[in-house]
Amino acid sequence: MRVPFSYLERQFADPEPYLEDIRALVSTGTFTLGEPVERFEKHFAALCQMPHAVGVGNGTDALLLSIEILGIGPGDEVITTANQFIAPAGAIACAGARPVFVDCDEEYMMDPGKLEAAITPRTKAIITVHHNGNVCDMPAIAAIAKKHGLRIIEDACHAIGASLDGVPVGSWGETACFSLHPLKNLNVWGDGGVIVTRSKELAQKLSLYRNHGLKTRDEVVMFGHNSRLHSVQAVIGDRLLGQAEFITNRRIEIGKRFDAAFADMGEDVRVPPRRPNVKHVYFQYILRVRRRDELLAFLHDAGIEAKIHYPIPIHLQEGAKYLGYKPGDLPVTEEDSRRIISLPLHQHLTDDEVAYVIDTVRSFYHAA
Ligand SMILES: *Cc1c(COP(=O)(O)O)cnc(C)c1O
């Protein structure tokens, strides 16, 4: 059996409905912004239970534009985590600010207990990454942010549909940022991103800022970026929004099955603690395991495309050298980078494939 990490082949086995939508778009000639993007933004905001959504070029730009629109730049520090995809740290640096890293907790997310020690007089904001479709301890982080007068930006690129006590992601930050990258839970046929916010004023500013600050074709009210969500991608995204519930529910179903299957494996396979009040939407399925590299090879030999997210923490990347971090600065993050493994988890896995992954992992530890 072969269990693929990517689901694109299965998801788009019949591309006809999407191509029909694109044909209809071509006949209108509305290739930048306009009705297709507005329609998608409206539907996306509704799905997120947020009043405003602004489509942008990609998830990284969603973060960058959010940072810049809050007036954060050179001389400022922004706190985030290092066991991530590079995008949040990169966006902070591209805005001219300095990324500052906090270690993570047992759920692979920002440890609120270590947050205050990272705050300096230059700190302006915190980017919380809802890693894997889990939700950070936002009440604790928001209380610290409030005490120190810091802004919050939520990186929700993994977490569409996730919530805490029924409160959707995006509720704590000035903005929340989503990616529509082909391998994110809600995807399109290329790059795309969305910023959601509760603030009408911020939504209006961001709508201008992603489009050169143009109020009309001829009048600029602020200098800005060219980071529009492409109309073709908005059309694809709008069709896929119809699958959002199926995608989320099937991912949760498989995630819970994995959780239950590995619950008795102790330190060989450690399932992270799961808070019952979190709706975790399982972007990836990450475990902390013994003999990680051997397990990875064993799974690959068995045709299971497991991966590591991520093998090199951001603070130890060559690109982060100028920040002055050294090994040992973020002990949990660094230990995780040696012990974590991501099993394939997506809405197009069959029950048989899920059972095969479970059996293969268990047999590696002789826990048949
Ligand atoms: C994918 C991702 C991004 C960036 O999204 P792009 O659309 O690829 O730019 C940002 N943050 C996290 C946590 C991501 O996984």
How many A from CA of 220 to the centre of ligand 1? 29
- For the CA of 192, the closest atom of ligand 1 is 7
Interval 336-351 mean pLDDT? 97
Exposed e or buried b for every residue in 242-253, given b needs 16+ CB within 10 A?
eebeebbebbbe
Answer whether 133 contacts ligand 1 (Cβ < 6 A): no
How many A from CA of 177 to the centre of ligand 1? 9
Q: Which residue has its alpha carbon closest to ligand 1 atom 10? A: 87
Answer whether 60 contacts ligand 1 (Cβ < 6 A): yes
pLDDT computed for residue 368 by the predictor: 66
Collect all residues with Cβ–Cβ distance below 8 Å to 49 and sequence separation of at least 6.
168
Both structure tokens of 300: 């690959």
Q: Which residue has its alpha carbon closest to ligand 1 atom 6? A: 59
Q: Which residue has its alpha carbon closest to ligand 1 atom 5? A: 59
Interval 228-237 mean pLDDT? 98
CB 158 within 8 A of CB 183: no
In the predicted structure, residue 92 carries a pLDDT above the cut 70: yes
Answer whether 155 contacts ligand 1 (Cβ < 6 A): yes
User: How does pLDDT run across 276-308, given as a tens digit for each residue?
Assistant: 999 999 999 999 999 999 999 999 999 999 999
How many A from CA of 343 to the centre of ligand 1? 19
User: How does pLDDT run across 151-167, given as a tens digit for each residue?
Assistant: 999 999 999 999 999 99
In percent, the amount of the chain with pLDDT more than 90 equals 99
Answer whether 158 contacts ligand 1 (Cβ < 6 A): yes
Instruction: Determine the residue of 60, 63, 134, 154 to mutate for testing ligand 1's pocket, defined as the one with the most ligand atoms within 8 A of the Cβ atom.
Output: 60
Q: Which residue has its alpha carbon closest to ligand 1 atom 2? A: 157
Instruction: Determine the residue of 85, 195, 233, 307 to mutate for testing ligand 1's pocket, defined as the one with the most ligand atoms within 8 A of the Cβ atom.
Output: 85
- CA distances for 207 relative to 84, 104, 226, angstroms: 28, 33, 11
Answer whether 191 contacts ligand 1 (Cβ < 6 A): yes
- Using a 10 angstrom Cβ sphere, with 0-12 exposed, 13-18 middle and 19 or more buried, the burial of residue 37 is buried
- For the CA of 130, the closest atom of ligand 1 is 13
pTM attached to this predicted model:
0.97
pLDDT computed for residue 367 by the predictor: 82
Q: Report the C-alpha gap between 333 and 198 in whole angstroms.
A: 32
Answer whether 157 contacts ligand 1 (Cβ < 6 A): yes
pLDDT computed for residue 107 by the predictor: 97
Q: How many CB atoms lie within 10 A of CB 272?
A: 18
Both structure tokens of 355: 């059972």
Answer whether 84 contacts ligand 1 (Cβ < 6 A): yes
In the predicted structure, residue 82 carries a pLDDT above the cut 80: yes
Q: Report the C-alpha gap between 96 and 77 in whole angstroms.
A: 9
